[in-house]
Amino acid sequence: MHVRLIRELGGELVAVCGRTLGAARAFGHADPYDDPARMLRERAPDIVHVCSPHHLHAEHSIAALAAGAHVVCEKPMATSIEDGLRMLAAADRAGRLGAVAYAYRGYPLIEVLRGKIAGGSLGVIRRVGGCYLSQDVLPAEKYVWMFSPRTTGRSYVLMDLGVHWLDLVEFVTGQSIVEVTAQFSTHQPERIWHGGPGEGGEPPGIPAGEGGVLVRHGLEEQADLLIRLGNGAAGSATVSGVSPGHPNTIVLSIDGAERGADWNQQQPNVWIERSAAGCMIRQRSPDALASDLAWMSMLPAGHAEGYVDAFRNIVFQSWSAMLGAGLGYPSFADGLRGLRLVDAAIRSAADRRPVAIR
């Protein structure tokens, strides 16, 4: 994805750094490296895209910033607030920008909704609900590297998926989440590593035959949330990685005093504007965007834009900001915000009480 966007936007991919030289070479597209420090030293890239496992984002981003590069970091930005703070400090120190790949922000209708709400078209916001439901780890024993100790810290599904939903809530409403109440569930506490694609290196655990490793993880696969926004709005949501039939259902459902709005990432080209009179299905159309956002959406209504288009928009925003343009972009500060929200949810679930967020 990153490679494709880099080329599409006219960037030049100078180097790819993998865990091994072989992996980097297999990836293709550019000179392979297995040592980030050497790559940074030898190639001095203008911008580094950090796509390593979550717990390495901090180390790799900080190195890149120290080497004078701007950074586009995959989400979640890090696995702890501390790491997030170090990354922000590194960017400040280096005078470079850090962006976080909150790709879903790049859908044009997210901007349309944001504009509607900011402009008061829905009235005072009262409810923000929805979900992020996936079946990423539905199969009984399915293992992904994020279940390995230390790779995602203290959370699986909020860290990997929920952080997107929480970011969209704040981004779209322009309101801060000031309190979260969470209830966590671990439905499949034993999973088996077999070393397949996406499973990462061998984790500590109990031998499970044929080279497999049984891992007892304590991470939530489902998080049920109550949120309170700064203006008093409230809502509920569930984030799950074990919801059958949901490849990647991200729903934002918003009630204002006058109108409501619904958006579902799986049908990203429509939104529903609810009012007492009925529910209006509105198609994405370039005409609905503010003129300074018109670049986000090229195609006439009725021609689907997709995830790649959204992701490209985010990378374009970030690069533009790095090149000095005044464009907004999902920044390290936004990434840190996500870590704070997830951290609050983790503490709420553990302490069984609402937790306020600074």
Which has the closest alpha carbon to 356: 347, 174, 153, 336?
347
For residue 244, give Cα distances in angstroms to 4, 137, 159, 163, 194: 31, 10, 20, 21, 23
- What residues between 74 and 93 interact with a second copy by CB under 8 A? none
**Burial per residue of 271-302, b for 16 or more beta-carbon CB atoms within 10 angstroms, e otherwise:** bbbbeeeeeeeeebbbebbeeebeebbeeeee
- What residues between 162 and 181 interact with a second copy by CB under 8 A? 181
H/E stretch holding 171 = helix 163-173
Q: With CB under 8 A as the contact rule, which of the stretches 51-59, 109-117, 245-253, 319-327 interacts with a second copy? A: 245-253
Q: Is the peptide bond before 76 cis (omega within 30 degrees of 0)?
A: yes
Q: With CB under 8 A as the contact rule, which of the stretches 91-99, 113-121, 217-225, 317-325 interacts with a second copy? A: 217-225
Name 237's bridge partners: 130, 225
Q: Tokens for 141, please give them.
A: 């024993």
List 3, 81, 138, 214, residue binding a second copy (CB under 8 A): 138
First-to-last C-alpha distance (Å) of the chain: 34
The count of residues interacting with a second copy (CB under 8 A) is 79
List 243, 313, 317, 331, residue binding a second copy (CB under 8 A): 243
26 touches a second copy (CB under 8 A)? no
Q: Report the nearest approach of a second copy to the CB of residue 324 (Å).
A: 22
Q: Is 184 helix (H, G, I), strand (E, B) or coil?
A: strand
> Which residue lies nearer to a second copy by CB, 80 or 264?
264
> Which residue lies nearer to a second copy by CB, 215 or 355?
355
List 187, 201, 206, 350, residue binding a second copy (CB under 8 A): 187
Contacts of 291 (CB under 8 A, 6+ apart): none
Contact present, 172 and 342 (Cβ < 8 Å): no
Q: With CB under 8 A as the contact rule, which of the stretches 71-79, 153-161, 166-174, 242-250 interacts with a second copy? A: 242-250
List 308, 320, 327, 340, residue binding a second copy (CB under 8 A): 308
Q: With CB under 8 A as the contact rule, which of the stretches 81-89, 94-102, 200-208, 233-241 interacts with a second copy? A: 233-241
Name 184's bridge partners: 223
Q: Report the nearest approach of a second copy to the CB of residue 111 (Å).
A: 16
Half-sphere exposure at residue 150, Cβ-oriented, CA atoms within 13 angstroms: 7
List 149, 212, 230, 354, residue binding a second copy (CB under 8 A): 354
Q: Report the nearest approach of a second copy to the CB of residue 274 (Å).
A: 3
Q: With CB under 8 A as the contact rule, which of the stretches 35-43, 111-119, 134-142, 315-323 interacts with a second copy? A: 134-142
297 touches a second copy (CB under 8 A)? no
List 203, 268, 330, 335, residue binding a second copy (CB under 8 A): 268
Q: With CB under 8 A as the contact rule, which of the stretches 14-22, 58-66, 79-87, 229-237 interacts with a second copy? A: 229-237
Contacts of 268 (CB under 8 A, 6+ apart): 107, 109, 284, 304, 305, 306, 307, 310
Q: Report the nearest approach of a second copy to the CB of residue 1 (Å).
A: 8
324 touches a second copy (CB under 8 A)? no
List 199, 224, 334, 343, residue binding a second copy (CB under 8 A): 224
Q: Report the nearest approach of a second copy to the CB of residue 222 (Å).
A: 6
Query: Residue 350's Cα: distance from chain center in Å?
Result: 23
Alpha-carbon span 150 to 146, nearest angstrom: 8
